[in-house]
């Protein structure tokens, strides 16, 4: 790492994908052992106000983003879905009920992703092309999920995190966008290759934990050295200092969920100012100046091809 990560302004380079996983604080996977699904409806819901705030932050900078939205949320807050679309953002799917893909069998996964897509398309009047698995829960054990997504009509997924993590990760997956044999495009969230390892560089809890300058340096390095668009993600509850505290949770989950929440909004504002941002579909599916077709980087991104290719090329 250079001595001063803040040394160079970042004003050019690839357009990065800004993504928001639209779910509420009580739906995060780490809280699943503590909050039963049938309690969700009785919890104070904060997602509407938080998404409104995010939309305002994006409007200030005229940034368009992709909102991977739960069907469960869309059903209850249809206006939220309409606001996202009306303001020029991409509406995509985070599944219906925020169950990890790795916890579902094929039939249940198919039902979940099909139901979410139908709800989102009905509410928005637009085709929903993208999907992100809860907790990046597609990996070597369930590559069949990519076939299910293609069969359900999705065109791309952003469900692989090429790192080692106790809850998710597929460290040997390609680091950048690659096509599967079935035509589906997978766009892994961004890692930085350093010292023979992939380091998480795409948001979430790491963005709150690390100093902002480090995150900024990592994204800039991917843009410069890899000449690739980064994929950054966060959640509406991450900007919400007033969210009800969930009691009785283990120390690790508590730390991960609440660390530096009070700093998140300001950091996001800096991030929006420091890089160029756009929607997943416009960057990766083509059809615009922002388009960065995955074939650009050629065979280095050779891909796993669904269930029959459980050992993807290193990328
Ligand atoms: Zn999620």
What pLDDT digit, counting tens, does each position of 4-34 carry? 444 444 557 899 999 999 999 989 888 888 8
Surrounding residues of ion ligand 1, Cβ less than 5 A: 21, 23, 134
How many structural domains comprise the chain? 1
Query: pLDDT over 70 for what percent of the chain?
Result: 87
Is 50 part of any domain? Answer: yes
Alpha-carbon distances, residue 175 vs 207, 217, 230, 245 (angstroms):
18, 18, 10, 35
CA of 263 to the centre of ligand 1 (A): 21
Is 314 part of any domain? Answer: no
Of 176, 141, 142, residue with least CA distance to 162: 176
Query: pLDDT over 90 for what percent of the chain?
Result: 70
What is the separation, in whole angstroms, between the first and last Cα of the chain? Answer: 21
Is 182 part of any domain? Answer: yes
Mean pLDDT, range 43-68, rounded to an integer:
97
CA of 209 to the centre of ligand 1 (A): 18
CA of 256 to the centre of ligand 1 (A): 14
Per-residue confidence (pLDDT) for residue 234, from 0 to 100: 97
Per-residue confidence (pLDDT) for residue 307, from 0 to 100: 37
Per-residue confidence (pLDDT) for residue 292, from 0 to 100: 61
CB 238 within 8 A of CB 261: yes
Q: Is the pLDDT of residue 314 over 80?
A: no
Query: Rounded CA gap, 204 and 268, in Å?
Result: 11
Band the pLDDT of 248: cuts 50, 70, 90: confident
CB 315 within 8 A of CB 246: no
Is 191 part of any domain? Answer: yes
Query: Rounded CA gap, 130 and 98, in Å?
Result: 15
Is 9 part of any domain? Answer: no
Residue 216, domain extent: 16-308
pLDDT in tens, 189-216: 999 999 989 998 889 889 999 999 999 9
Q: Is the pLDDT of residue 187 over 50?
A: yes
Torsion over CA of 175, 179, 182 and 188, rounded to 10 degrees?
A: 30
Mean pLDDT of the chain: 88
CA of 32 to the centre of ligand 1 (A): 12
Could you tell me the two tokens for 28? 């995060």
Is 195 part of any domain? Answer: yes
Is 5 part of any domain? Answer: no
Mean pLDDT, range 229-249, rounded to an integer:
93
Per-residue confidence (pLDDT) for residue 221, from 0 to 100: 95
Mean pLDDT, range 126-154, rounded to an integer:
96
pTM reported for the whole predicted model: 0.88
CA of 113 to the centre of ligand 1 (A): 13
Band the pLDDT of 287: cuts 50, 70, 90: low
Query: Rounded CA gap, 146 and 39, in Å?
Result: 31
Mean pLDDT, range 165-186, rounded to an integer:
89
Is 268 part of any domain? Answer: yes
CATH code of the domain covering residue 124: 3.20.20.370
CA of 136 to the centre of ligand 1 (A): 8
Q: Is the pLDDT of residue 297 over 70?
A: no
- Parallel, antiparallel or unpaired: strands 185-186 and 178-179: antiparallel
């Amino acid at each position: 790492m250079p001595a001063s990560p803040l040394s160079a302004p970042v004003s050019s380079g690839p357009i990065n994908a800004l993504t928001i996983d639209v779910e509420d604080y009580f739906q995060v996977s780490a809280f699943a052992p503590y909050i039963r699904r049938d309690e969700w409806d009785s919890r104070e819901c904060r997602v509407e106000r938080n998404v409104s705030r995010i939309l305002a932050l994006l409007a200030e900078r005229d940034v368009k983003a992709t909102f991977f939205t739960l069907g469960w949320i869309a059903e209850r807050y249809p206006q939220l879905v309409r606001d996202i679309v009306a303001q020029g953002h991409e509406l995509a799917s985070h599944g219906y009920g925020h169950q990890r893909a790795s916890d579902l069998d094929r039939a249940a996964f198919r039902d979940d992703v099909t139901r979410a897509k139908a709800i989102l398309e009905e509410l928005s009047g637009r085709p929903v092309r993208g999907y992100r698995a809860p907790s990046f829960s597609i990996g070597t054990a369930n590559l069949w999920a990519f076939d299910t997504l293609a069969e359900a009509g999705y065109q791309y997924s952003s469900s692989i995190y090429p790192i080692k993590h106790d809850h998710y990760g597929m460290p040997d997956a390609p680091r950048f966008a690659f096509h599967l044999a079935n035509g589906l495009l997978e766009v892994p969230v961004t890692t930085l290759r350093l010292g023979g390892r992939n380091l998480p560089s795409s948001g979430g809890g790491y963005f709150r934990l690390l100093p902002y300058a480090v995150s900024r340096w990592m994204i800039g390095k991917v843009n410069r050295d890899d000449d690739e668009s980064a994929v950054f993600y966060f959640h509406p509850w991450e900007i919400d200092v007033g969210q009800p505290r969930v009691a009785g949770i283990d120390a690790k989950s508590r730390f991960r969920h609440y660390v530096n929440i009070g700093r998140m909004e300001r950091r996001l504002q800096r991030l929006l100012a420091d890089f160029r941002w756009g929607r997943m579909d416009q960057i990766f599916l083509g059809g615009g100046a922002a388009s960065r077709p995955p074939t650009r980087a050629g065979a280095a991104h050779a891909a796993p091809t669904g269930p029959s290719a459980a050992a993807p090329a290193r990328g």
